[in-house]
Structure formats: C-alpha cells, structure tokens
Structure 1
C-alpha cells in the first residue's frame, strides 16, 4: 500500500464511522448504493455482493458544510440538490441496469461567486470491507495519459472484490475548460489508493463566472465481480467493460463528408505541388513532409502512399501516372552487399547531418524495415514482379535480424553490424514491443506468396514474443493494429487459440490509446476529435498517417473475422472507430481549418494552408496544430477511405455510401444491390445514396434483413438520400429509373 494523504485518511475514517446515516439508499443489479453527506463532501458508496466497498464523490466544497435541499427520483435517475458556499450543486445518479451494470454520476455547479479551484482532490476512495476501516488494496491497469480517454481500469485485490472501469466524459467539461483555460489532459489517474478524476487547477485570472452553471464531472462506471486471473481474461474484461460504457456514452453527431471531392483535390496537390517531390538519379521521390528537402527519400514514404493509390485505382478501374513514377524509384533502395532494402536512399543517405540519432545512413528504426516489406508483399501478391523480387531478396536479412535480437527488437540498430544504437524507448520500458507482430505479418505474407512453411514457422516465433506484454505492448498504433490482423490470420491457419487471444491483446492496447471525448474548447472547437487515436503511447497529438493505416487494418481485421466467433465488443468498437474516422479525418487538411490555429513554427519542411496535404499532428485545444509538418506520407488518407466506403453501381447516377464497413457487396450490375453492415445492432450508422450527376435520381426501395424491414430515408440539400441503419444489418437496395 502506497502512502496516503491526511485528506484521504480523514475521508476513510468518516465513511467508516459506526453512526453514519445514509441520506439515500437503493439496491440495483445485486449491488447496494448509499449516499452520505459528510461535512464538505457528498459521497456515493457502492457495495459489491461480497461486501467490499468503493466510494465516489458527488460534490465537494472545501472547509464547508454541505446542505441537502432536495432528492428527486424519476425513472432510474436520482437527483440531489445540494447547497454550498460555492453555489448550488446538482448531482444526478443514474443507477445501473442490464447484464453489464453501468453507473452514471453527473455533477454540475451553479457558481455563487467568481470561484477559483487551486486544488481539487481525486474522487474515488477504495474503502474495502464493511467491517474494516482498512483501505482496499488494488492494481491500476490503465489510466489516462495526456489527452487520451479519461479512463481508469483497476481491480480490487484485497479483499478480492472485482474490477472497475471508470470513464470520465471529458466532453462535458468544455465550458469549465474554456472559461478557466485549462486542459482536460491528465485529469484521471492517481496513485493507489488516491485515484480517480481531479478538476484541473484554475489560474488566478480565470475563475468560474458567478451565476453560470458548469459541469464538473460526468463519470460512467462499470463494475464486475471478476478479478482477472491472467492476461487473456484481463484483455477480454477491459474490452467488454469499455464497450458497455461506450454504449451509454453520449456521442457527437456526425455529418456526411464529400470524400470523392476531397480525394481529387488531394490527388491534384500531391502530383502537382513541387514541395511534395525530390529527384535523385533521374527518379522522382516523395518527400516525407512538404518542402522537406534536407531529408533523403525513404522507402517507407514511397510505399505508404503507393498502396492507398493502388486501392483507389482498383476500385475505380483507372490508371495513375504518379504510381508509375513512384514504382520506378523503388529498386534503388536495395543494398546488394547486405541483401536488403534500406530505409534511406543509398545515393544520398550520407548527406544527412545526423542531427537526430536515427538520421544516419546505416541506422535502422526497427519497424521501418518491416513496414516497407509488408507493403512490398502486398504489391507482390497482386502480381508486381519488381516488388516481389525486392521482397523475397530481403527476407533472409529480416530473419537474420529477428534471430539476432531473439525476436525482441531495439529502437535503433546499425544494419551492417547489428550494433544496438538505442535499446529502449525509455529507461526500463524496453524496445519496440509490437515489432514481433509486424514481423509475423511479413512472414505470413511470405508464406502466402511462396508456400514455404519456414516462413509460417517464423511468423509463429515472432507472434509468441507478444505474450505477457499486457498494456505495455503498444509502440506504434498502425504496427500494433497490423499485428492484430496477422495474429487473427495465424489463428485461422493454425487453429491455436493463443493467437486469437494475442490479437485481442493488440487491439486492447490500441483502444487504450484513443480519445473517447471531443475537445470543444480553444482551437478544438474548429474540428471533431471524438475517438481519435494517438500514434505512440506517449505522443501528445493524434496523427493522420497512423490513423489512416489503423483504419485500413481494422477493415482487414473485420473481413478476416467474418464468420468467426470473436468478441462482440471488438466488432462494436472497431466499427465505431471507423465511423468516426470517416467523419473527422477531413480535418487533418489545413484547408479545413482556420489559419489562426496552425502552428507558427514548423519542425520539418513548411505548412501551406492552401494545400490539400494533411497535417501530421492535431493537438489539445489550447495548442496550435501542424507544428511537426505537412505529412506527404499521410496522403493516403482519402485514397484509403473512398474505396472502402463508396460502392459503385455500373451505369447509374449514384453511389452507395456507408460510414460502417460492409461485407459481400454484390456485383455492380446486379439488382437489388445487397451487402451486410459491420458493427452492432445496438448502434446505428449512416447509409447514403449519393447523387453523382445532375440528372434525376432513380426511385429507391431500401429494406433490411431479408427484405422484410423497410428503411425510411430523407433527402439532403445536395439531392442525396440518407438513412440511419442499425449495425450488423443485411441491406437490400433496389431502384427503377424515373
């Protein structure tokens, strides 16, 4: 047990006082709930069926004596109106119901005077057994980092009571953050036993306004009687509890974004803007960032753009000259002496100034070897012979490196000597822990391409190194997501349950690093950020390239999972991430943002606010965005979205759009058009019949689930037809020309 403050000891003593009388008590789903008013605080105490207890603070006014004015009950909501020196509190408790119980605690304050909060205590006290004043012992498994979800996932281990996922709906705090100019980042966490949410301290000149009402907390709490016995149980519990809270969480409305138009603008700027390109030995290469001429061409950058372009031309039955230009430059990255592709273009690698430890000719960032190999394998499987040769000729080097490091990769190493340049991301944190999964993906691709079982054995050796990493597995979001897909494929090939469980572990790590709230304060008011994903486990911003690749990896995972028995919570969360990505990814383009919110200083290259090339970085609402640069290798954004969310119907003046993934779209000429939506029936997505020319739209009939459930749509101002459809529905679309 960690040391505790005098404040916590006093609270624990008062809540365990023998003469304490509840002002309200109720039973729900086998749990007991009691509300107590103690001097300057109002507490709700939850008791597990076995007797262990945990307290959540509803209201607080330091050195005050709160007065309960009224208790109102309606449906499942109990409202407590409480007077304090600071103003009028209203605490609303929504008791849990259903198979997985979710408790909601919402507190607002109508300020009586301009109020400052220089300090605010955390709002959870693990009380332990009813017969003891000894605080419960427990283990925190997940807590908020930066501006990620305001979450806390923990187990009470002594007395062994169960587990809790606490999620603060930080969206609701926007008025508080706006008025006080504070951030919602790093507000949920703490050290056991002083845990929970604490309001960010206010500045002297930024008090709450008198007479105005502010939300001070909106907590969703889901609890279980299980203390997970192993890693697999912990992962399944976390995902199930997160999905249960997500179903109850208020979510922002989405709007349709015109991705075909955005793609054309992005394609024009990618191909025609000189800031996107460099030349070496007569070949053209994409820069990593707009106007970044100091950094040599990287093979990862070329392939990260080429593969989404390939998705687009396959969808559109078209040709793009820019793809030929990129492909022509790829063989130059191969090093005959080492027998592998290189990260940096060998002809100009020695021109790097070495201002960063990885910007040296022979230095390899571990994932930078495997990611290009993965993309080369994808080209090879589509029949590209140049890509196939580069891929196959590099495999022996990749295997040599894997075995040298025992399938646990450092951050940076030298390619010619395999000397470790940087072993760990931070002292004691280990190297790039998700690279074994990325390696497994590369080896699976090699096995699929060649049929050589040696590569399948290598994939398994890599995959098993992910065991035991828990919530420390995540190094980079896209690579962790690719790992999940590889592990699911390994499960399908071998039927070994361990690989399916490890795929869940990867995905739990990804969902730990998302942002389940919308930053509606400061510059955050100009763009949607709900369900955004952070590229690294300590990154202070969300990033377009990693998000776009995770989006594609989730699509692939769901397609590989079709017909398999996987966690319903995963199907729900993955479909919802995709739905919100399609909504908000357009805001990575600086053309969609006020110029005032773009960073005045740019780390790499330049930012052109009129160019349809995405910014790498979107920040907290009080920080400007785009300070890293305008990311050319994130140009695949629109090219990944369009082919996955727009279904074309041959010789007809419309396309079919959904913001959920779909399965089994019928051939373009057949009527009715039919497909199945991903997701969960308890949530809905947008289906649109998108008008593609100036003529009249046909008359449509849209039905669900065998054609027996008609869907009613509405016409938009642009002439499209829009429907709201439950997830996991079979959709049938028929039409006749007027």
Structure 2
C-alpha cells in the first residue's frame, strides 16, 4: 500500500536523503543532524534501529533558501537564512546528557506585507531507507486551545515514542497581527503530523517585524508502551520532563482575602442569586435565572466551600450556611427513595427544552456528585446530611448495578430507562462516572466501615480499565476518580489502582492549556495551566476549575507517605501554583466590560457582582456567554483555606505551592511544601492591621531567604519539596 502524501511531503521525501549534513550532534542519548533543504531547515533524529524522525523548523514556500550565517555559542547553534519573502532566524539548543531534549525557536522577519495561506505540518517519520513510515500511533494531540502537544508512538517496527510540545505563548504576536488563534494547530494525519501555522487570511505580517513562528521542545523515549496505563504514565513523565524548559511567566499575586469578602457580600445580598420556594431560600444556578428550578448540586457546590471557609476563618456562625442546609431535605422524594436533581416543588417550571430539563430525568454524574458532598458533610458530623445520604444510597447503588457500572448520559429515574446512551456516536456514555461513584462508595466505607461499599468501589473502577485518555469526560469527576483510585491503592496495596490513578491524572493534564493566550480579548486574563471542563469544551469554566483544584489538593494529601510518580508531584503543584493567579479573572468587576457577553445564554451578567462568570472563551470571543454562575461562587471560599495560613490576629501568609504540613509555635511557623526542587513559588505576607512587624525566613538547614517588597507586599521565594521556617515579631 502506497502512503498518501501532500505535494509538500512529496518534495520533502524526495530531497531529504540527498541533503548534506551541516551540523551533527552525537552522545549517548542523541544522534541528531541538521540539513538545509530548498524550503526548510531540517532536524533529523536517528533512532538506534535506523528509524528517522524529521522536524522542519519552518517552511518557506518561495524560491530557494540561502544560508547567510551559522554560529555556535554555549550549547546553542544559530542560523540566519533568507528567501525571496523573508529572513528566518533559527536557534537550536543542542541536546546534552544533562538535558536530552531537542529544542528550537524560529523567528520570521518578512520583507513585504506577507500573507501565509498555507503551512504544512512539521514532522515526518521515515524508515531506515528513507521511505515515509507507513504506521504510527498518535496517542493524543491538541484539541481546541489546549496545550500544543503531540504524543505518538513508533511501534512498527518497535522504536519508541515522541513527545512534542509547541509553546504557543511565543506566537502571540503572530496571532494578534494576523487575527488568527492558537487552537487546533498541533495534530495532523499520519504520516504528516505536528504543528502548522494558522493561515493568515487577509491580515498580513508587518514588514521588518520579528515574529516567532515556532518554539518547540521534543523528548524521545525508546520505552515500549503496551497498555493504556503505560501510555498515560509515560505522558505524565514526559510532560514533567519538558515542563521546566517551557518559557513561562511566573503567576501574579491577588489578594483573595479581599475577593472572598466581596464575594460573600455579593452572594448574600444580590437578589439575582436567590429563589424563595416552599419556605426556604435556594441559590439559582445563574444570576437572575428564575425560570430554571433550583438544583441540589448548586446548593451543595457552594455550601461545602462556604463551610471550609467558615472553619478556616473561625467564624462561629454563617447565616448563608444555615439557609442552604435548611433547604436540602426538600430535594428528597420519598416515593423514589432518593434525592433528585430539581427541587420537586418547582419541577413544573421545567420547560422540556433539553433532555434533562424534564421531571425525574437524571444526568448520570448529577446523582453522585451531590451524594459525595452530602458524605463530606456527614463526615463533619452533620446529622441531616447523614440522613439524606443514608436514605438515598441504596437507590444510587441500584442505578450502578442496573447499568453494570457503565453510565449513560441521561436516564429516567423511575424506570431507569436510558434516554441518551452516548456523548457522541461510538464514544460511550459518561465514562468517568465509575470514578466519582467509587469516590462516593469509599466515603461510605470510611463513614460506616461496611465492606459492601468497598466492594462496590472495586466493581465500578474495573470499567475504567483500558480506557486511557478517553476515560476523561468531565474534569472534576475525573479528578475525584483519581483520588478514589489512590484511596483504593492505600486500602488494598494493589499497584494496579495507583497506576489507574495516573490514567485519570493524565486525562486531566491532557486537557489543560499550557500557554498564555495573549491576543484579542485574551490579553485581559491569564490562561497558563487552565483546565477545560469537558474533553471538547471550547472554554474553561470556573466551577470545574475550582473542583479540580480541590480534588488535586486532596490527592496530594492522600499521597503523603506514598511513593507516587515524581511527575505527578511536580505537575499538581504547578497547577495549584497558577490557580490563584488565574481564577480571579472569572470575576466581572476585574474584567473590562467590553470583554463580557451582552447576551448570556442563561440569566444576566451583573458586571459589579463578585460572582464568577462560567466561561472564559478564546481571545477572539467575548466571555460569559453561558452566564454568571452562582454555583461557581465557591471559588474564593475554596482557595483561601488551602493557600492562606493564619499565624495570629494580624498576620496571614499566602503560599503558592500545596502545603503538606504547618506547625506553629509561638512567633514562628514551620511549613513543608510540595512541588519539585527545581521550581519555586512565592510566599506573600498579609498584615491586616497598622502594626509593624519584623520578619525572617530560613530553610530547614538555616539558610536565610531574602524577603523583598513588591506591589506593597513583602514576599520571598521558596523551592518545592522543602521545609522552611517563618518568624515574626512586632517592631518596637
């Protein structure tokens, strides 16, 4: 069978074997050469078995390239090349034993107002005799605005795998000037895969303006990946391997103590957040959405973070908490023996406009998520929550058994008749629900010590085996599934469950955006390390981001004393580090009004209300198109208890990395933080009085850390996976 090729690839296949080597790098990890073709500067990686992976650092469509300069400098090689339309500057960081990564950055300087109507993919793999390799397995690639990642295997013949990362942050000037976007650029159809520039349309490049058009990092591995677990664990390891090499900005600091107070006031006093029914107050899902009945998920999604914040702050009472608790029993239907999604008293308001907007129609994850939160309340000693949980749990188990632990999208609650079986044809239902169901069952096991719940958890997670990246359906449920699998490992000491937790985590980190979208409206907010709520969602969402953040914090706490994959510790800590910097952008008062949608799909947007909008869109689209989500109000209440530590009545410190332990004694506190020793986070000191303090900070070994003033705050840097001691005293 002859491999189908584009005209561009035909030319590359014809010329590559004939080109002369102009640079050669050989060490125990790398056999790499550089060759100059008529239209591209090629990097060629030679595998031990003779297979070749070739990378085009750019593509020039016009004329023949001329090499103007080549020089070597401190482990780097620089090329300047020219063609009829532009000058190209290519910087190649030569792989070394210490950092066996292939890296290059290409800058284009056009000679004329230049349009680029076509750009080919930049990777082709060849056999030992320079024939295009007919088969390869693409494990994952960029979808929408997610990371510019392509991860593929060379299995026939057994060769290895390639992890390719295109740092799209570097291309923002190109995106801005050409009015293009960074979505769906890394992928392709075998054998032509990799990255291609978006077509420019009618907006040309400005002459003499430098544009980075490629900023790539590639890691190679000869490991044989046989199972989905192998692939996902390798994905995490390779992502963590290249992560320190990604050019990125450090997260900025925002005072969440101030944001949480504004959020509490807005949520409590804004009439658009509340509905009154049957003698109780209920939160709307979206601001001023009075048409949709109240949902139990919404009440609990805000109630749990509110309780966490109350416990952190030391407040003795909170009227809003009592309001929300009082309304929960009304969601229970005695004739069905379970809580339901919609408040029964208001079911008649459902307009039947969507499959789930009908009485007693359940979206599969919507049953288990509220029960998980009721279990959390029950573990805190809430008797009413325990009562609702115990009255509903048999129904929840019956649903699981009826569907054989493979849940559809929608079903009818009285009959358990499937209404919608699959998310899309051939893709199955909500594939990550076995994980969230297992999380619920393990909470029941912790509460009751009845072994049937542990058995149920084990039965459910069997359905996750073999799914790989496709086990990701909804980000927060996938994250809680990872926690459940880690707990199962701790209960059973069966390594299978630990490995399966890595599969869930790989699904999470495969759906993040490791680049800054600094073009169009995207210049108003940070996107680095955003997580998308669904595998095909075009936007990020406040509620799901906050829940993933909470779940990954829980994963690290459960992992204390467990020998988990180092890549997992690095990636979770870095995700957590960027959350406080990013999530403030969901609050309308911090956004320019022109960025907000004028016609949200649900309810209204109050630009002065400190309640998060649901969606941050691509920089080419206004945000808040879905609405201002009241159930996302828990964002601030979740961040403060995890990142801020009260040391006395005046003094609080913010720590960017997850904190594994905090020991206070007198006027000092010792912290153990997570993360990787090569990377760092900031500690910011908040003083909420007019008192003056003196501060010192030292590592556990006594090395003094420099405390500097920045943005009217005092702060210092700490590296991951270490202990440090912070001391304070009042100035006289």
Contact 1:604 1:629 survives alignment (8 Å): yes
For the pair 1:307 / 2:304, whether they are aligned, the reply is: yes
Residue by residue, what CA displacement relative to the aligned partner does 1:108-153 show, whole Å, maximum 9, x if unpaired? 1111001101111111011222x34242521000100001001100
Counterpart selection for 1:298 from 290, 295, 300: 295
The aligned counterpart of 1:687 is 683
**Alpha-carbon distance in 2 for matches of 1:132, 1:37:** 16
Residue by residue, what CA displacement relative to the aligned partner does 1:62-83 show, whole Å, maximum 9, x if unpaired? 1420011111111121111101
Counterpart selection for 2:699 from 688, 700, 704: 704
The aligned counterpart of 2:176 is 178
Q: What is the root-mean-square deviation in Å for CA atoms of aligned residues?
A: 1.2
Which of 413-422 and 95-104 deviates more?
95-104
Contact 2:29 2:97 survives alignment (8 Å): no
How far has the Cα of 1:203 moved from its partner?
Answer: 1.3
**Alpha-carbon distance in 1 for matches of 2:89, 2:458:** 56
Contact 1:31 1:49 survives alignment (8 Å): no
Q: Secondary structure at the match of 2:153?
A: strand
Aligned runs of 1:19-58 on 2, under 5 Å?
A: 20-58=19-57
Q: Secondary structure at the match of 2:155?
A: strand
The aligned counterpart of 2:596 is 598
Which of 343-352 and 406-415 deviates more?
343-352
Counterpart selection for 2:708 from 714, 729, 737: 714
The aligned counterpart of 2:397 is 399
Residue by residue, what CA displacement relative to the aligned partner does 1:17-69 show, whole Å, maximum 9, x if unpaired? 3xx31122222443211111221222111112332111100232114200111
Residue by residue, what CA displacement relative to the aligned partner does 1:597-627 show, whole Å, maximum 9, x if unpaired? 1112210000111111101000111111000
**Alpha-carbon distance in 2 for matches of 1:664, 1:517:** 31
Q: Secondary structure at the match of 2:671?
A: strand
Contact 1:156 1:227 survives alignment (8 Å): no
The aligned counterpart of 1:278 is 275
Residue by residue, what CA displacement relative to the aligned partner does 1:287-327 show, whole Å, maximum 9, x if unpaired? 00000111100000000000000100111111210000000
**Alpha-carbon distance in 1 for matches of 2:561, 2:716:** 26
**Moved >4 Å (runs of 4+):** none
How far has the Cα of 1:735 moved from its partner?
Answer: 2.3
The aligned counterpart of 1:111 is 110
Counterparts in 2 of 1:119 and 1:499: CA distance versus 1, 3 Å: same
**Alpha-carbon distance in 2 for matches of 1:402, 1:293:** 33
Contact 2:124 2:193 survives alignment (8 Å): yes
Contact 1:137 1:159 survives alignment (8 Å): no
Which of 603-612 and 52-61 deviates more?
52-61
Question: Tell me, which stretches of 5 or more residues in structure 1 are unaligned?
Answer: none
Counterpart selection for 1:335 from 333, 353, 360: 333
TM-score by length of 2: 0.98
Q: Secondary structure at the match of 2:109?
A: strand
Which of 365-374 and 686-695 deviates more?
686-695
Aligned runs of 1:105-184 on 2, under 5 Å?
A: 105-129=104-128, 131-135=129-133, 137-184=135-182
The aligned counterpart of 1:520 is 518
The aligned counterpart of 1:433 is 431
Contact 2:124 2:192 survives alignment (8 Å): yes
Contact 1:100 1:222 survives alignment (8 Å): no
**Alpha-carbon distance in 2 for matches of 1:141, 1:27:** 28
How far has the Cα of 1:717 moved from its partner?
Answer: 4.3
**Alpha-carbon distance in 2 for matches of 1:169, 1:101:** 18
**Alpha-carbon distance in 2 for matches of 1:150, 1:417:** 45
Contact 2:266 2:611 survives alignment (8 Å): yes
Contact 1:485 1:557 survives alignment (8 Å): yes
Aligned runs of 1:1-12 on 2, under 5 Å?
A: 3-12=4-13
Aligned positions, number:
729
Residue by residue, what CA displacement relative to the aligned partner does 1:249-305 show, whole Å, maximum 9, x if unpaired? 011122211000000001000000000000110100000000011110000000000
Counterpart selection for 2:633 from 632, 635, 650: 635
Counterparts in 2 of 1:554 and 1:98: CA distance versus 1, 3 Å: farther
**Alpha-carbon distance in 2 for matches of 1:543, 1:338:** 33
TM-score by length of 1: 0.97
How far has the Cα of 1:460 moved from its partner?
Answer: 0.8
Aligned runs of 1:580-659 on 2, under 5 Å?
A: 580-651=578-649, 653-659=650-656
Aligned runs of 1:117-516 on 2, under 5 Å?
A: 117-129=116-128, 131-135=129-133, 137-204=135-202, 206-318=203-315, 319-516=317-514
